[in-house]
Structure 1
Amino acid sequence: MTDTMPARRFRHATMRDFPQMQKIYAHARELMARSGNPTQWGTTFPKEEVVLDDIANHRTMLLVDRVDGRERILAQFALCPGEDPTYRHIDGAWLDNDAYVTIHRIASAGLVRHAARDCIVWALKHYGNVRADTHPNNKAMQHVLETCGFARCGLIQLLDRPTDTTRIAYQRHEW
């Protein structure tokens, strides 16, 4: 065994990754529930058809490494360019109205530390103006976003569900 860490890289997800991605989302749902955030993703979010659509439209990015010759998915997230309809109305104010990308559905496999942070840093490096949101009970994601320099911009309301819709909105713009 060596003292060096396996090289990490980012790549787009493919349909072959879907079964492992579903396991990672299940792990994330369990972790959220144990951490006092049982309702953000409940037992069924993200829906299978949303994950498949993200993959088909090249929105899903994977953080991967190789151990013993096998690739492992360390974390995954959807990177959504263009205006997010959910972000049109905010109780607060965005940093600006410039073009941005949104990080959605980020989940770590739990195999290494700081995998979610690495995903966010990668998005900032490649896109510069990034928005995200998270549930008020998701203290872990709030911490990650804030330690990555994101500003709390206010509250938004999700459009795709009838209850538990309030989310804290974040933005960071690399000027």
Structure 2
Amino acid sequence: MTSSTSTRRFRHATMRDFPQMQKNYARARELMARSGNPTQWGHEFPREAVVLDDIAQHRSILLVDGTGPHERILAQFALCPGEDPTYRHIDGAWLDNDSYVTIHRICSSGLVKHAARECIRWALKHYGNVRADTHPNNKAMQHVLETSGFARCGLIQLLDRPTDTTRIAYQRHEW
């Protein structure tokens, strides 16, 4: 991913990244609402406590460019190893029952094009078996996942909210 003219790299987020990460999530919520998907993240998702826990547990991964005081966050996501309880029940079928990681809470800062796709490529390169899900109204993320070679496996129901729980489940396994 890093070319001779770029200093792009992936790293774990730290607490000092939290304010910019929150701005990126706010931008993503606004973009989703303008694109016909106002309910997936609503006005407060991901909750502050979730983002702070992602950072503390080393789940938050950043795509950054530049160095030192000139570093910019281009995209961010939570990479969650182990079984995701939400994925135990699917109306459909996963590609396999092998160990996997899950990409959650992915968003871009809007500074460059295709940053989410770059994050997905990185996860596939490093982990091989990746799952993700998105809202039926999130056509942009469906497009990113499908053009990144993910299979649409079925529908899952979120466990952490009372309404608007249906998500389209995806998986790609690099054999």
Q: CA deviation at 1:69?
A: 6.0
Alignment of 1:1-175 (within 5 A): 5-66=5-66, 70-175=70-175
> For 1:4-51, what per-residue CA distance to the aligned partner results, in whole angstroms no more than 9, with x for missing partners?
853210000000000000000000000000000000000000000000
Alpha-carbon distance in 1 for matches of 2:67, 2:60: 22
Aligned partners of 1:16, 1:119: CA distance in 2, in Å?
21
CA distance, structure 2, for counterparts of residue 159 and residue 69 of structure 1: 40
Q: Secondary structure at the match of 1:143?
A: helix
Identity of aligned residues (%): 85
Partner SS state of residue 20, structure 1: helix
Cα contact 1:156–1:166 (8 A) shared by 2: yes
Q: Partners in 2 of 1:89 and 1:52 — Cα distance?
A: 28
- AA aligned opposite 2:94: W
Q: Which amino acid aligns with 1:8?
A: R
Does structure 1 retain, via aligned residues, the 8 Å contact 2:77–2:106?
A: yes
Q: What's the CA shift string for 1:88-147, capped at 9, x where partnerless?
A: 000000000000000000010000000000000000000000000000000000000000
Unaligned runs of 5+ in 1: none
Q: Is the 8 A contact 1:6 1:67 kept in 2?
A: no
Other structure's SS at 1:168 match: strand
Q: Please, what TM-score do these two structures have when normalized by structure 2?
A: 0.96
Separation (CA, whole Å) in 2 of partners of 1:22 and 1:69: 19
Matched to 1:73, the amino acid is I
Whether the aligned pair in 2 keeps the contact of 1:124 and 1:130 (CA below 8 Å) is yes
C-alpha contact 1:87 1:156 (8 A) present in aligned 2:
yes
Aligned length: 172
**Residue 66 (structure 1) shift:** 1.2
Deviating 4+ runs (over 4 angstroms):
none
Q: Secondary structure at the match of 1:61?
A: strand
CA RMSD, aligned part only? Answer: 1.2
